[in-house]
Amino acid sequence: MNNDFRDKINKVRNSKNPLENATAGRRAAFIVLAIVLCGIGALMTFMTETVMGTMKIILGGLILVCGAVLAFIGYRSRTGANDKADKLAMVKVVGGGIIALCSLFVFFGNAVTALIGLVLGGVIIVKSLFALTAAVKVMKFGGGSRGGILFAISVITALIGVYLLLSMGGTKPEERLFVGGIMVMVEGVLDFVYALLMPYTQKIKDAKNN
C-alpha cells in the first residue's frame, strides 16, 4: 500500500464516518447470510433424503396450488361470448392446468434438485456480481492484497453459483444434493470472510471521496 493511500485511510479512520452504521449493517447482513447458507448446506449434506422429501412436498404443492388457482380464476372469468376476454380466460385455464401438471415432475421426478439449484445458484450469482463490483473498486483505488482477496472470493462464489445453477438436475439427485450442500457451505464460509473485509471496502470508498 503506497503512502498517499495510507494517509487517506488514516484520515478516514481518524474522522467521524457517517457511513459507519450502514457499513455495520451490511456486514451483519453478510454474516447472517453466511450462517443461513451454512445451515442450508448442512441440511442438504447430512439430511439429504429428508430434504428431498420435504422439498418435493413444498415445491410440488406450491406449483400445484398456483396452477390450480390460475385455472380457477380463468374458469370463473369466462364470458361465453367468444370474445377477447373469453379467449384470455381459456388461456388462463389451459396455462394453469399445464402448471399444475408440472407438479408431477416435482412429486415423482428429479426436478426438485434442479429447482433448488436454480434458486440457490441464481441468488449466489447475483450476490457475487455486487461483491465483484466492490472488489474491483477496492483494487482500483489501491486496496492491495485485501482487494485481491475480495476479488478472488467474488469469482469463486460466482463459480459456485454457476455450478449449482447447471449441475443440480439430472439423475442421482441424492448425490447431486449432497455435493451441492458442500458447495453451499463453502459459499457460506466465503461470505463470512467477505463480511470481515466489508468495512475495509467502505473505507476505500470514503478515501476516494476525500
What's the confidence (pLDDT) of residue 176? 87
Average pLDDT over residues 178-197: 90
Rg of the chain in Å (alpha carbons): 24
Highest mean pLDDT among 78-82, 165-169, 203-207: 165-169
**Which contacts qualify for 106-113: CB closer than 8 Å, 24 or more apart?**
106/56, 106/59, 106/60, 106/63, 107/56, 107/60, 110/169, 110/170, 110/171, 110/173, 111/169, 112/52, 112/55, 112/56, 112/59, 112/60, 112/173, 113/52, 113/168, 113/169, 113/173, 113/176, 113/177, 113/180
Closest-CA residue to 153 (of 128, 133, 185): 128
Average pLDDT over residues 61-81: 87
Confidence of residue 65 (pLDDT cuts 50, 70, 90): very high
- The phi, psi pair for 151, rounded to 5°, reads -65, -45
Instruction: Write out pLDDT tens, residues 18-51.
Output: 444 445 667 787 888 899 999 999 999 999 888 8
C-alpha 181/C-alpha 60 separation (Å) is: 21
pLDDT above 70 (res 144): no
* Residue 15 DSSP symbol: S
Average pLDDT over residues 102-114: 83
pLDDT at residue 23 in the model: 58
Count Cα atoms within 13 angstroms, Cβ side, for 130: 10
Residue 19 confidence (pLDDT): 40
The Cα 107–Cα 117 span in angstroms is 17
Residue 159 has pLDDT above 80, yes or no: yes
Residue among 56, 95, 103 nearest 73 (CA): 95
According to the model, what pLDDT value does residue 25 have? Answer: 67
Residue 4 in this model has a pLDDT that exceeds 90: no
Distance CA 135, CA 36 (A): 23
pLDDT recorded at residue 16:
46
Per-residue confidence (pLDDT) for residue 145, from 0 to 100? 77
**Per-residue model confidence (pLDDT) at position 114:** 86
Q: Which amino acid is at 110?
A: N
